A and B are shown apart, each in its own frame.
Chain A
Amino acid sequence: MRLLALAARRCLWMPPTLLGLTLIVFSISHIIPSDPARVLAGENAPIEQVEALRRKFGLDLPLPQQFFRYVTDVVSGNMGISLYTQRPVADDLLERLPATFELAIYAMILAVLLGLPLGVVSALRRNSLLDHAVRVVTISGLAMAAFWLAILLQLLFSMKLNLTPVQGRIDGWGPDPITGFYTLDAVLRGDWEMLGSSLRYLALPVMPLAIPAMATIVRFTRAGVLNVMSSNFVFYQNAMGLPRRVVIWKYILRSALIGTLTQIGLVFGNLLAGAVVVEAVFSWPGLGTYAYNSILQSDYNAIMGFTLFTGTVFICVNLLVDIAQAVLDPRGR
Chain B
Amino acid sequence: MLNKFGPAVGRRAMMAGGAALGVSAGLPDAWAAGRTRFVTANNNPYDILDPHQVFDIGRIAIRLNMYDALVRWVDNPPKLDMWLAEKVDIAPDGKVYTFTLKPGVKFHDGSALTSEDVVYSMERILGMKKGAYGLFSDVVKPGTTKALDARTVQFNLAKPFAVFMAVLSELWVVNSKVVKQHEKNGDWGAEWLTRNEAGSGGYRLRRFDPAVGFQAERFQDHFAGWKPGAVDDADFRVAMETATRVLGVIKGEFNTTDGFLPAEQVARMRESGKVNFVEAESIRTFYFIINNAKAPLNDVNMRRALCCMFDYDGFINNILGGTVVRNTGIIPNPMWGAPKDLKGYTYDLDKAKWYLSQVKEKLRPLQIGAMSGYPQSEQGAQMLQAGAAKIGFDIKVVTEPYTTISPKLDDPDRAHDLVPLWRSAYFADPHNWTGYIYNSRNFKSGNSSFYKNERVDELTDKALLLTDQEQRRPLYEEASRILSEDAAGLFVYNTKYYGPFTKNVKSVRFCPIGDAQDLRWIAMES
Q: Does A95 sit within 8 A of B, measured CB to CB?
A: yes
A32 to B407, CA, bound (A): 11
Which residue from A87, A151, A165, A173 sits with its C-beta under 8 Å from B215?
A173
Contact: A293 with B240, CB < 8 Å?
A: yes
A328 to B289, CA, bound (A): 64
For the side of the interface on B, what is the size category? 35 or more
**Chain B residues near A53 (CB-CB < 8 A):** 129-130
Kindly specify which of A68-76, A206-214, A283-291 makes contact with the partner chain.
A283-291
Name which of A167, A169, A297 has the most chain B CB atoms within 10 A of its CB: A167
**Chain B residues near A127 (CB-CB < 8 A):** none
A33-B407, A86-B48 known; A168+B211 contact, CB < 8 A: no
A46-B137, A86-B194, A158-B251 known; A193+B4 contact, CB < 8 A: yes
A42-B55, A282-B244 known; A174+B406 contact, CB < 8 A: no
A165 to B39, CA, bound (A): 15
A34-B404, A39-B402, A154-B247 known; A168+B253 contact, CB < 8 A: yes
Q: Does A322 sit within 8 A of B, measured CB to CB?
A: no
Q: Does A197 sit within 8 A of B, measured CB to CB?
A: yes
**Chain B residues near A39 (CB-CB < 8 A):** 402-403, 406-407
Contact: A172 with B2, CB < 8 Å?
A: yes
Contact: B5 with A197, CB < 8 Å?
A: yes
Which residue from A47, A86, A169, A193 sits with its C-beta under 8 Å from B444?
A47
Interface positions, chain B 372-417, Cβ under 8 Å from A, are: 373, 401-404, 406-408, 410, 414
Kindly specify which of B8-16, B64-72, B109-117, B219-227 makes contact with the partner chain.
B8-16
Interface mask (A14-38 → B, CB under 8 Å = 1, otherwise 0): 0000000000000000001111101
Q: Does B436 sit within 8 A of A, measured CB to CB?
A: yes
A35-B407, A86-B194 known; A172+B9 contact, CB < 8 A: yes
**Chain B residues near A166 (CB-CB < 8 A):** 244, 247-248, 251, 253
Q: Does B263 sit within 8 A of A, measured CB to CB?
A: no
A51 to B446, CA, bound (A): 15
**Chain B residues near A173 (CB-CB < 8 A):** 3, 5, 9-10, 13, 207, 209, 212, 215
Q: Does A298 sit within 8 A of B, measured CB to CB?
A: yes
**Chain A residues near B436 (CB-CB < 8 A):** 44
Q: Does B241 sit within 8 A of A, measured CB to CB?
A: yes
Contact: B55 with A34, CB < 8 Å?
A: no
A171 to B402, CA, bound (A): 34
Which residue from A44, A154, A290 sits with its C-beta under 8 Å from B135?
A44
A53 to B53, CA, bound (A): 11
**Chain A residues near B240 (CB-CB < 8 A):** 280, 283, 289, 292-293
A290 to B426, CA, bound (A): 27
Contact: B194 with A87, CB < 8 Å?
A: yes
Q: Does B243 sit within 8 A of A, measured CB to CB?
A: yes
A86 to B187, CA, bound (A): 12
Contact: B403 with A298, CB < 8 Å?
A: yes
Contact: A38 with B244, CB < 8 Å?
A: no
A281 to B407, CA, bound (A): 29
Which residue from A96, A99, A175 sits with its C-beta under 8 Å from B12?
A175
Contact: A151 with B133, CB < 8 Å?
A: no
Closest to A287 in B: B211
Q: Does A239 sit within 8 A of B, measured CB to CB?
A: no
**Chain B residues near A197 (CB-CB < 8 A):** 4-5
Q: Does B250 sit within 8 A of A, measured CB to CB?
A: yes
**Chain A residues near B243 (CB-CB < 8 A):** 151, 154, 281
Q: Does A296 sit within 8 A of B, measured CB to CB?
A: yes
**Chain A residues near B135 (CB-CB < 8 A):** 44
Q: Does A85 sit within 8 A of B, measured CB to CB?
A: yes
A172-B3, A194-B5 known; A283+B241 contact, CB < 8 A: yes
Interface positions, chain B 412-436, Cβ under 8 Å from A, are: 414, 426, 436
A84-B47, A87-B194, A173-B209 known; A46+B406 contact, CB < 8 A: no
**Chain B residues near A33 (CB-CB < 8 A):** 404, 407-408, 414
**Chain A residues near B251 (CB-CB < 8 A):** 158-159, 165-166
A159-B251, A283-B239, A297-B403 known; A96+B211 contact, CB < 8 A: yes
Closest to A197 in B: B4
Q: Does A52 sit within 8 A of B, measured CB to CB?
A: yes
Interface mask (A135-153 → B, CB under 8 Å = 1, otherwise 0): 0000000000000000100
Interface mask (A169-189 → B, CB under 8 Å = 1, otherwise 0): 111111110000000000000
A35-B407, A167-B253, A283-B237 known; A85+B48 contact, CB < 8 A: yes
Interface mask (A233-270 → B, CB under 8 Å = 1, otherwise 0): 00000000000000000000000000000000000000
**Chain B residues near A52 (CB-CB < 8 A):** 129
Closest to B37 in A: A172
**Chain A residues near B444 (CB-CB < 8 A):** 47
Q: Does B28 sit within 8 A of A, measured CB to CB?
A: no
Contact: A44 with B4, CB < 8 Å?
A: no
- Closest Cβ of chain B: how far from A193's Cβ, in Å? 7
A149 to B10, CA, bound (A): 34
Q: Does B160 sit within 8 A of A, measured CB to CB?
A: no
Which residue from B5, B131, B238, B446 sits with its C-beta under 8 Å from A193?
B5
- Closest Cβ of chain A: how far from B214's Cβ, in Å? 10
Contact: B5 with A86, CB < 8 Å?
A: no
Q: Does B142 sit within 8 A of A, measured CB to CB?
A: no
A36 to B410, CA, bound (A): 13
Contact: B404 with A32, CB < 8 Å?
A: yes
A175 to B47, CA, bound (A): 20
**Chain B residues near A46 (CB-CB < 8 A):** 133-134, 137-138, 445
Q: Does B190 sit within 8 A of A, measured CB to CB?
A: yes
**Chain B residues near A297 (CB-CB < 8 A):** 403
A154 to B241, CA, bound (A): 12
A92 to B194, CA, bound (A): 13
Which residue from B4, B48, B134 sits with its C-beta under 8 Å from A49?
B134
Contact: A171 with B1, CB < 8 Å?
A: yes
Contact: B404 with A167, CB < 8 Å?
A: no
Q: Does B210 sit within 8 A of A, measured CB to CB?
A: yes
Contact: B16 with A176, CB < 8 Å?
A: yes
Contact: A171 with B239, CB < 8 Å?
A: no
Which residue from A171, A193, A281, A293 sits with its C-beta under 8 Å from B244?
A281
A-B CB proximity, top 9 nearest: A35-B407, A172-B3, A285-B211, A171-B4, A298-B403, A85-B47, A283-B239, A45-B134, A46-B445
Beyond the given A85-B45, A174-B13, please list 19 additional residue pairs across the A-B interface where CB-CB is below 8 A: A33-B407, A35-B406, A42-B131, A44-B436, A45-B133, A46-B133, A47-B444, A86-B53, A87-B210, A159-B251, A171-B4, A172-B10, A173-B5, A173-B215, A175-B13, A281-B241, A289-B211, A289-B240, A296-B401
26 contacts between A and B (CB under 8 A): A32-B404, A33-B407, A34-B407, A38-B410, A43-B446, A44-B442, A48-B137, A49-B129, A49-B137, A86-B190, A166-B251, A167-B244, A168-B237, A171-B3, A173-B207, A175-B13, A176-B9, A193-B4, A193-B5, A280-B240, A283-B238, A286-B211, A289-B211, A290-B211, A292-B240, A293-B47
